[in-house]
Structure 1
């Protein structure tokens, strides 16, 4: 079994070296699809022997399906540019490569580091379908909520995918701004309508789900902050949809 590791990058120099180092012993090839990095991302990737390609970013589904088309291995492990494969997870992947597994894809548990703290409740375990037979999978979804679809049986792997996605509050706010804009644009193009009820109730529901149902209160102050941010994200995505509808009505009048 040959394994391709596929990663999307954009100005990813801060963490990409650690990401690539965590999979260099299990990957038969590393495929990088970049969307215009201006830092040392590509230099670092080439140092690890990666095959590097460019595609202008439009949305995550199209970008990741193009990445999939560039991979040549029997199996593909999809990683974000801030996700490090733990030693236990790498050992599990190495074991799979030596066997003929009876499944077509595997979920891995993602453990997120938020503002310097590992979040073990509000966002954990965050099961992600990331390892799959190349000819049995494809990415589906809307502009921001993409997911890997596997045509066949799936299983679960031991070991965590270490996610260093939120180093600061400012970074989180920028990410929320990007993702809520992508959501609103995608929903608007699909004809989804703004709902005042969702704008009023969904943010509270998002907070309660993370802080109480997922026990984010056990993650300390960081758990409270991320729960508030979840509420903020939900509010903004519906507000931006309202704004697009308002602007469209103004344009037509």
Structure 2
């Protein structure tokens, strides 16, 4: 985290949003001159909204904890904003690394993207209330930058599987909160696999590309099954709680 904050020194201000931050997190924020927004954020959208609202500038650069801004991208961002652009948001390329190696192809959807609208005017991006998912943009695109954010997706193959496990759990909670598990996802899963392995040329990354495509295909299936599991557990719990009340009525 410290290195990521250090690389944001080119910004006019740094806002760090943390859910129940530890003493160490608070110390790191102070050391790098970051404004710490601390709280309890059940939803990812709440955390992002709180961060955007705490920013005082006209433009916001959104950076994840596992990402870093290199000097070339920092210079490009400053130069772009000094030209007073007409657009409301810019797409920023993302360079995805696994075990320290750059993996260029096969990304898309839940595991990782190769570009995202991370530089935007205040108010040009909002986040619907949910645990998982991207933001909604408004206004006009200013184009795409050339420099890339460096994202450490996972330290190893196991980290990729853990990432999928975490993301499907969040997506399943969102679906269960909406009261449905969605479709089974088998057809969508096959489409995601082919889209990653063939459409986005994941096959060119060898075994790692196949794994990324496989995990992308499993995402809709696992999300559906986990959402069903949550809903069924809630129904059983509600039924068990209602049983004593029914017994009381029957014995009166």
Residue correspondence of structure 1 range 118-157 to structure 2 within 5 A? 118-123=102-107, 126-140=114-128, 142-157=130-145
Alpha-carbon distance in structure 2 between the residues aligned to 1:38 and 1:177: 25
Indicate if the aligned counterparts of 1:114 and 1:222 stay in contact, CA closer than 8 A.
no
- 1:246 aligns to 2:232 (yes or no): yes
SS at match of 2:85: coil
**Structure-2 change in CA distance of 1:115 and 1:201 (3 Å):** farther
Which residue of structure 1 aligns with residue 69 of structure 2?
A: 85
Alpha-carbon distance in structure 2 between the residues aligned to 1:141 and 1:149: 15
TM-score (norm: length of structure 2):
0.84
* Structure 2: runs of 5 or more not aligned: 240-252
Alpha-carbon distance in structure 2 between the residues aligned to 1:193 and 1:136: 31
Indicate if the aligned counterparts of 1:181 and 1:237 stay in contact, CA closer than 8 A.
yes
Residue correspondence of structure 1 range 43-62 to structure 2 within 5 A? 43-62=27-46
Which residue of structure 1 aligns with residue 4 of structure 2?
A: 19
Aligned-pair Cα RMSD in Å = 2.1
Task: Kindly state the Cα deviation for residue 66 of structure 1 after the two structures are TM-superposed.
Answer: 0.9
Deviations along 1:137-196, one digit per CA (max 9) or x if unpaired, are: 322364211224233443211111111121123333333222212111111222334433
Alpha-carbon distance in structure 1 between the residues aligned to 2:22 and 2:179: 36
SS at match of 1:112: strand
Indicate if the aligned counterparts of 1:137 and 1:151 stay in contact, CA closer than 8 A.
no
Task: Kindly state the Cα deviation for residue 39 of structure 1 after the two structures are TM-superposed.
Answer: 6.9
Alpha-carbon distance in structure 2 between the residues aligned to 1:226 and 1:99: 39
SS at match of 2:62: strand
Alpha-carbon distance in structure 1 between the residues aligned to 2:15 and 2:136: 17
TM-score (norm: length of structure 1):
0.84
Q: 1:160 aligns with which of 144, 148, 169?
A: 148
- Structure with more strand by fraction: 1
Indicate if the aligned counterparts of 1:129 and 1:148 stay in contact, CA closer than 8 A.
no
- 1:174 aligns to 2:162 (yes or no): yes
Indicate if the aligned counterparts of 2:21 and 2:38 stay in contact, CA closer than 8 A.
no
- 1:237 aligns to 2:223 (yes or no): yes
Task: Kindly state the Cα deviation for residue 203 of structure 1 after the two structures are TM-superposed.
Answer: 2.6
Q: 2:19 aligns with which of 11, 24, 35?
A: 35
Indicate if the aligned counterparts of 1:180 and 1:233 stay in contact, CA closer than 8 A.
yes
* Structure 1: runs of 5 or more not aligned: 1-15
Indicate if the aligned counterparts of 2:37 and 2:50 stay in contact, CA closer than 8 A.
no
Alpha-carbon distance in structure 1 between the residues aligned to 2:31 and 2:129: 33
Alpha-carbon distance in structure 2 between the residues aligned to 1:144 and 1:157: 25
Residue correspondence of structure 1 range 205-224 to structure 2 within 5 A? 205-224=191-210
